[in-house]
Structure 1
Amino acid sequence: MKYTVYVMLAVAGSAMAQPSFAQQATDTTASTSTVQPVQNSLTVSGYIEAYYAHDFTAPKTSQERPGFLYNHKRNREINVNLAFIKAAYASERVRGNLAIQVGTYAQYNYTAEQPLLRNVYEANAGVKLSKTRDLWLDAGIFTSHIGFESAISKDCWTLTRSLLAENSPYYLSGAKLTYNTSNGKWTLLGSVVNGWQRIAKLPGYTGPAISTQVQYKPSANVVLNWSTFLGSDRPDSLKQSRFFNNFYAILNPNGTISTILGFDIGSDRKPIGSDGQRVGSGRYVWYSPVAIVRYSVSDAVKLAGRVEYYDDKNGVIIATGTANGFKTWGYSLNADYFILPTAVFRIEGKVYSSQDAIFETSTNPSRTNTSLTTSLAISF
């Protein structure tokens, strides 16, 4: 398998480099787009996550999980979700990142991109615009600032991603300004991007999109975040503007009991029909709340539970072709064992329950879907 060859090359490359860890396993608030090494230095880091997912609902012949999932996608086989090797350069006024990826995450989540770009996890360059302020201009391909989860499972509280994370941007391409206040409490970001999780613009869409972030950390125990996207993911001819909001709060992130509360809400304007008239007034709206609670038994053992809901009755993001659209609850429990600070074994059970029968089975479609996922992840 081609992924195996790439992973072996990534491991070999890491053996020649000084280890560098972009993010601690207990901190999902730090950006994964920029490693913070010693000034005037080049560091190499990497990540590999192997997994096995068993979908108890899907037919035995089905090798894929449901279509609205992009991580841990392959069913009943051992595979690699994400593996990358990353080079990061940082000096007082200049920084840059280049990470090359393989795995089923890249295979399924980057299908709309040009083949050469599907293996790029991030590629960006930045310059500090002020000698006295923490103000940076960066341009290129970035991991998304929208949401509290990334494709790096080891840095997230649950093994698999939430429904809202799977169906909002994991990556963005464009230019951004980022300002961090001197007291470390505020982060302000404004960006011009090529589209809704697009490296290349969608054919027929000419306008740039805008994305913002406001993050406030009043103390070490609280993180409050609001991110937005304003643009479109449709051709100009449909005149469908999109406005999307992502809110989350992380409470006591490094404590014995920690909580994440998240809420996404987005809307697309109704499109122009074949007769040149708009299909009704108003907007199509979708939304998703999620709550995650993590209990740290010790530094090595952590447990987490998640309850979530996703409502997309008009099929803007997740199309089902059913009467009620995608209206689905999700419940999951997972246990993590950190063999080493840089290596974790995880197991998670998850159940989806939908208003309509949208899940494939060997006979008739089902309203529920049950799965068990395990993974082994290392960072270096």
Structure 2
Amino acid sequence: MKIRKIAFLITFLFLWRGVMAQENSSSLAFSAYTDVYYSYFSNEMEPNALQPFTTVSPRSERFGLNVAQIGLAYDSQFVRANLILHWGDIAKATWSEEYNNVQEANLGFKLANGWWIDAGFFATHIGTESFLPKNDFLSSTAVATYNEPFYQAGAKLTYEGSDDFYTEFWVLNGYNRFLDNNNAKSIGVLFSYNFSENTSLTYTNLLGTESAEGSAVKQYRIYQNLYLNTVLTERLILIVGGDVGTQSNSKLPNMEETAIMYNALTTLRYLFTDKWSVTGRAEVFNDRHGFISGLIPTQNSGMQGLELWGLTLGIEYKPDPNSYIRGEARFLDLDDNAALFSGSYSRHKRWELMVTMGYQLDRVFGF
């Protein structure tokens, strides 16, 4: 009998140790990513100048580095943390001057089953596309993506307890800001629902005061984004998205009225094989009052907001699941009155050609 009790006790201790180890298991993930490019733009600028309205491969007729980044992510039952540092032309063209090399730095704690709270520096929760080529079908990003926020500082409450539904509630310093320009805070949400394994719909928004502290004119901005991802067939994938934004005291020429902007894009990818694919994108962007995109020169020496449409065609070869080689061509056609571009081609049209190569490395260590 005594031997049985001892055997039972030993078995119980081993089982308890296994359960506790599983409950308290944690992991540390290391990631590294780089993307290099060569590009050409019909818009003529000074050597090494960054082309307007593009986040990727922005220097014309140059070999360049889009991004080199490293990251560490810690994850356990009750605590998680994330740090990503980056360098390259994407950071120079889009990122905060104060924290140019910090892509993300945040810490989170589990509050209850499925509920987490995180705070720090984050990549934006808004947008149909990512600013990183590895997360998109095309390396170049739509003009809408260029004008959406890239980064944000604040806190989020997340619910992750459902396989079909995911949501985030945000309190942030402001639109595309690490450091705030006023004492007000912005709020936002992300709702994502999976209708099936092949189709999901996501809605995001951001609401807040964007005028500087002490400004006589208060400008309140509402920015909303909606996008659909669906796998139409085994080889055909569709992404459709669009934004609508409003800002008070911003309409031209009557600055006391509310201005409105909108954009939309459609991306369609066809996979010939597991390694070869072709992607097309159509986009429109209309911010005639310039409260998001800023004002650009016109043919009659005036100023106006950005209005355009564009088409992009790209082909991709994936040597393995973590790497890619892409060739892309894009055409942008601005409003006929715009005079943004220079050179012999056109003042309101631009051709872009680029070749990009990227590789992503991920390693997870459990303990």
1:142 corresponding residue in structure 2: 122
Counterpart pick for 1:40 among 14, 23, 26: 26
1:214 corresponding residue in structure 2: 191
Equivalent position SS for 1:362:
coil
What are the equivalent positions in structure 2 for 1:217-256 lying under 5 Å apart?
A: 217-236=194-213, 237=215, 238-252=217-231, 255-256=234-235
Answer with 1 or 2: which has the greater Rg: 2
1:357 corresponding residue in structure 2: 338
**Cα separation, partners in 2 of 1:254 and 1:123, compared to 1, 3 Å:** farther
What are the equivalent positions in structure 2 for 1:160-239 lying under 5 Å apart?
A: 160-182=140-162, 184-202=163-181, 205-236=182-213, 237=215, 238-239=217-218
Q: CA offsets, 1:27-60, max 9 Å, x none?
A: xxxxxxxxxxx950112111100011111x2226
Give me the identity figure in percent.
28
1:85 corresponding residue in structure 2: 70
**Matches of 2:232 and 2:114, distance apart in 1:** 25
For residue 268 of structure 2, what is the amino acid of its counterpart? V
Counterpart pick for 1:312 among 287, 294, 300: 287
Q: CA offsets, 1:198-222, max 9 Å, x none?
A: 11112xx110111111111111111
**Cα separation, partners in 2 of 1:174 and 1:257, compared to 1, 3 Å:** same
**Matches of 1:86 and 1:280, distance apart in 2:** 44
**Matches of 1:49 and 1:372, distance apart in 2:** 16
The answer (yes or no) to whether the contact 1:266–1:286 under 8 Å persists in 2 is: yes
Q: Is 1:76 aligned to 2:61, yes or no?
A: yes
TM-score w.r.t. the length of structure 1 is 0.82
Q: Is 1:300 aligned to 2:286, yes or no?
A: no
Q: Is 1:262 aligned to 2:238, yes or no?
A: no
Shift of 1:271: 5.1
For residue 243 of structure 1, what is the amino acid of its counterpart? I
The answer (yes or no) to whether the contact 2:297–2:338 under 8 Å persists in 1 is: no
Equivalent position SS for 1:129:
strand
Shift of 1:346: 0.5
For residue 129 of structure 1, what is the amino acid of its counterpart? L
For residue 91 of structure 1, what is the amino acid of its counterpart? S
The answer (yes or no) to whether the contact 1:66–1:359 under 8 Å persists in 2 is: no
**Matches of 2:341 and 2:47, distance apart in 1:** 9
Equivalent position SS for 2:60:
coil
For residue 189 of structure 1, what is the amino acid of its counterpart? E
Q: Is 1:332 aligned to 2:309, yes or no?
A: no
Which residues of structure 2 form unaligned runs of 5+? 1-23, 362-367
Equivalent position SS for 1:219:
coil
Measured on the aligned residues, the alpha-carbon RMSD in Å equals 2.2
2:51 corresponding residue in structure 1: 66
Q: Once superposed, which parts of structure 1, at least 4 consecutive aligned residues long, lie more than 6 Å away?
A: none
Counterpart pick for 1:118 among 77, 89, 100: 100
1:370 corresponding residue in structure 2: 351
Shift of 1:255: 3.4
Counterpart pick for 1:346 among 326, 331, 352: 326
